[in-house]
Amino acid sequence: MRTSVTARFVVYISVLLIVLCGSLGFIANTTASNALLSSIEQQLPNKAIDGAKVVASQVEARLESVVTLAHMPVMQSMDWSVQENVLKREQARLGFMYMGVATPEGNVELTNGSSAYIVTQDYFLKALSGQKYISDPQEGKSPIFIYSAPIFDENEEVVGVLVGAANALELSEIAKAITFGETGYAFILNQNGTTIAHPNTDLVINRDNDFENVKEDPSLTSLVELETKMVAGETGFGEYVYNGEVNYMGYAPIPGT
């Protein structure tokens, strides 16, 4: 039977303001500084919330495009010879690197000419259970997100899974557009604290994780304390010191998590 089609975004967003006016330390005891900090404390979480909504909206739009395709009769036919041409056309229009269809047994045919066995992959299992889903970035030379959706037949049984691969660095481009003042920027962590979007895309490619980094660099402790709250789905504000500089952060979960 058809299950409730739901989505799970496995990412969280924070907006980080770094070194306002070089350093706030030199005016830490002034009335002007207190007023400024109070304003920042209010504005940064709101900025994070707004940014999270932007990310959720854009990700959800792409996910819904996969759901819509999955409901087409040609997809329900589970005939790859006709599905392939449709998907090649649609992937170009929707901005996917490649798309594919998997059988309930986990065998997937892809528009790039390859095939694979994906029976253990979360994005396959979630879609097979009737859910639309977005994976964490998949490792490789170029990280990718896999969007997936169930294919239902006329009896509302899941007969296959539709998948689409998108460049994971596109999420960093969305994050880059979220700024605060002259030095504030956004980055996104998944539920394990791994960076999946950042203006410095090397951090994404290398799967940077401060929960691991802090084991070798204790100066990250105060940042990790904030990131722990982030990945727990909290919304808030905090500060941390790194390399002798005070940094301020607002954070919020992306709707849909």
What's the average model confidence in pLDDT over 27-32?
Answer: 46
Instruction: State residue 108's pLDDT score.
Output: 98
DSSP annotation of 143: -
Instruction: State residue 6's pLDDT score.
Output: 39
Q: Give bridge partners of residue 158 from the DSSP assignment.
A: 152
Q: Both ends of the chain: CA-CA distance in Å?
A: 25
* pTM of the predicted model as reported, rounded to 2 decimal places: 0.82
- Determine the angle formed by the axes of helices 80-94 and 31-70, rounding to 10 degrees: 150
- DSSP output for 4-71: P------EEEEEEEE-TTS-SGGGTTSHHHHHHHHHHHHHHHHHHHHHHHHHHHHHHHHHHHHHHHHT
What's the average model confidence in pLDDT over 80-88?
Answer: 97
Residue (of 231, 243, 246, 183) closest to 11 by Cα position: 231
Instruction: State residue 30's pLDDT score.
Output: 45
Chain position carrying tokens 């709101």? 46
Q: Which helix or strand (DSSP H or E) is residue 188 part of?
A: strand 184-190
Residue (of 116, 97, 95) closest to 105 by Cα position: 116
DSSP annotation of 236: E
Find how far residue 245's CA is from the centre of its chain: 28
Instruction: State residue 136's pLDDT score.
Output: 86
Instruction: State residue 13's pLDDT score.
Output: 55
What's the average model confidence in pLDDT over 51-72?
Answer: 93
Greatest alpha-carbon span in the chain: 71
What's the average model confidence in pLDDT over 50-70?
Answer: 93
Instruction: State residue 44's pLDDT score.
Output: 86
Q: What is the pLDDT of residues 139-158, one digit of tens each?
A: 767 889 999 999 999 999 99
**Of 108 and 184, more confident:** 108
Could you tell me the pLDDT band of residue 172, with boundaries at 50, 70 and 90? very high
Instruction: State residue 200's pLDDT score.
Output: 92
Instruction: State residue 103's pLDDT score.
Output: 98
pLDDT surpasses 50 at 240: yes
Q: Tell me how far CA of residue 232 lies from CA of 10, 39, 108, 129, in angstroms.
A: 11, 25, 34, 25
Of the CA atoms within 13 Å of residue 114, those in its CB half-sphere come to 6
Percentage with pLDDT > 90 across the chain:
55
Domains and CATH numbers, the chain: 11-60+170-253 (3.30.450.20), 74-167 (3.30.450.20)
pLDDT surpasses 50 at 17: no
The 3-state secondary structure of 58-98, one letter per residue = HHHHHHHHHHHHHCCHHHHCCCHHHHHHHHHHHHHHHCCCE
